[in-house]
Amino acid sequence: METIKRTLRDNPALRWLVLILGGIVIFANYYLYDALSPIKSILEKDLGFSNSDYGFFVSFYSFPNTFLAMAVIGGVVLDKLGIRKTGILFVSFMAFGGLITAYGCSEMYRNGGLFFESFSSFLPKYSAELKMMSVGRFFYGLGAETSIVVISKILVKWFKGKNLALAFGLKIGFGRLGTMAALNLSPLLADNEIKVGFAVWFAAILIGIALLVFFVYSLMDLTLDKQLEQAEELSKPDKFEFKDILNLLTNRTFIFIALLCVTFYSAVFPFLAFAPDFIHNKFGMSLQQSGFITSLLPLSTALITPFFGGYIDKKGKSATVMIFGAVILLFVHLTFSLTSFSPYIPMVLLGIAFSLVPASMWPTLVRLVPESKIGTAYGLMYSIQNLGLWVFPILAGKILDKTNPGVSEALELGQDATYDYTQTILMFAALGVLGLVFALLLKREDKNKGLGIDLPLNKQ
């Protein structure tokens, strides 16, 4: 009996088009995440944010995924409802959050706009701007992590057995380009206090464009599913059982990967949120120059990760690559905290580390989890990761305030003063030590059980 032998995903050009569409969503997602980090000092002057306030705001991204387990729930929903419905729902949450964040720092809101008085009436310790922006950050985080899970499952659907690690590397590259763009554009768009709101509105508009792009992809996904159904290749979703999550949480290999994920990402993303201000204070550089140097991290990651992904597809060595990445991460944070070495080279090295670990870590899950459960597995990973992304920005801000008493007041009075970031960066270095330990444990687990983590992905 004749069946359809070729589908959309058998066309290389369409596969790469899918990657580009997903990459646009990832680009906008990461742009919004990092849009405020290079203008932290302007927020302090214009909105009266302290370091603790800023850390609180940054951490609110992870609140829904840490305490409401939304990334896990989103992953389960993804496995049950499919890519289209889940993606449209959670990218919409992301876009709504971006709009609320931009509104919270806009002149319209600050001049007595809708909800300003009500948000001023409770928790007086926090400003109305901080509270509204944190609500926006909450909804953005509610959608952003599951949106990344959706894009990951899209890549598994279209690229499994066909350069999957390269596709993941390029996906990561799109995200790092979004970070790089934010670090360079935000200081230009907010070169004075009046334009802070404009810088964030620009980020919110990008998220709106990403939502439209996802609708375009959904049409392709619908066509592919019809073709797979006709070819009797469309797998039906399995019934969800809590034991699916329990099985993952009792799998030592998954646990080591998840712990490496949370320590590694917690040593990078919260650091990035403070990095432009760190460079500005330690090396006396302008906000634009500090943003540019910080952007060397995502730039080097964007350029290098696809090559590492291609290498892992053909040669493997995922577990070994994760160890090298963890070593480089530790070295860089020790350099930043304990020396006055120029930040250019360490930032590029950190970008290389941030290429090695994600390019090898995320595709590895495909070996451990059936495709019908991949959304749940990625969702659980992102929820565990978000525990660190919630805790460590808060800790970084509190350590910075605690070890620099009186600096904020001096800066508000126009006096010369700088923050000493030594203890804050040492905290990130400690996370690097933990990441290295978990990478070594993962390597040992693979060797003892013969899991094949170091084997090429294209030969699965």
Q: What is the pLDDT along the chain (460 residues), one digit of tens a residue?
A: 344 467 888 888 899 999 999 999 999 999 998 888 878 777 777 777 887 888 888 888 878 877 777 777 777 778 788 889 999 999 999 999 999 999 988 888 888 888 888 888 888 888 888 899 999 999 998 898 889 889 988 988 888 777 777 888 888 889 888 988 888 888 888 765 556 778 889 999 999 999 999 999 999 989 888 887 776 665 555 555 667 778 778 888 888 888 999 999 999 988 988 888 899 889 988 878 888 898 888 888 888 888 877 888 788 788 888 899 999 999 999 999 999 999 999 999 998 998 888 878 877 777 777 766 777 788 788 888 888 888 898 898 889 888 888 776 665 656 666 888 999 999 999 999 999 999 999 889 888 888 777 777 665 4
Q: 380 vs 71, 180, 308, 411, CA distance in Å?
A: 6, 27, 25, 42
Whether the CB-CB separation of 5 and 130 falls below 8 Å is answered with no
**Domain boundaries, position 443:** 12-459
Domain membership of residue 254 (yes or no) is yes
- The rounded distance, in Å, linking the Cα atoms of 280 and 419 is 9
* Residue carrying the six token digits 């790469």: 16
Residue 229, Cβ density class (10 Å: 0-12 exposed, 13-18 middle, ≥19 buried): exposed
pLDDT of residue 99: 94
- The rounded distance, in Å, linking the Cα atoms of 343 and 324 is 21
The single-letter DSSP state of residue 406 is T
Domain membership of residue 5 (yes or no) is no
- The rounded distance, in Å, linking the Cα atoms of 30 and 33 is 5
Domain membership of residue 6 (yes or no) is no
pLDDT of residue 113: 85
Q: Domain total for the chain? A: 1
Q: Give the list of residues 6+ apart from residue 280 with CB closer than 8 angstroms, or none.
A: 41, 286, 287, 290
Tell me the pTM: 0.74
- In the chain, the largest separation of any two C-alpha atoms, in whole Å, equals 82
Domain membership of residue 114 (yes or no) is yes
Pure H helices in 121-251: 128-159, 164-189, 196-230, 242-249
Domain membership of residue 105 (yes or no) is yes
Domain membership of residue 47 (yes or no) is yes
DSSP 68-131: S-HHHHHHHHHHHH-HHHHHHHHHHHHHHHHHHHHHHTSHHHHTT-TTHHHHHSS-TTS-HHHH
Residue 322, Cβ density class (10 Å: 0-12 exposed, 13-18 middle, ≥19 buried): buried
Q: Give the list of residues 6+ apart from residue 136 with CB closer than 8 angstroms, or none.
A: 97, 98, 99, 100, 101, 102, 103, 104
Q: Give the list of residues 6+ apart from residue 12 with CB closer than 8 angstroms, or none.
A: none
CATH number at residue 453: 1.20.1250.20
Domain membership of residue 452 (yes or no) is yes
- The rounded distance, in Å, linking the Cα atoms of 62 and 69 is 10
Q: Other CB atoms closer than 10 Å to residue 320's CB: what's the count? A: 16
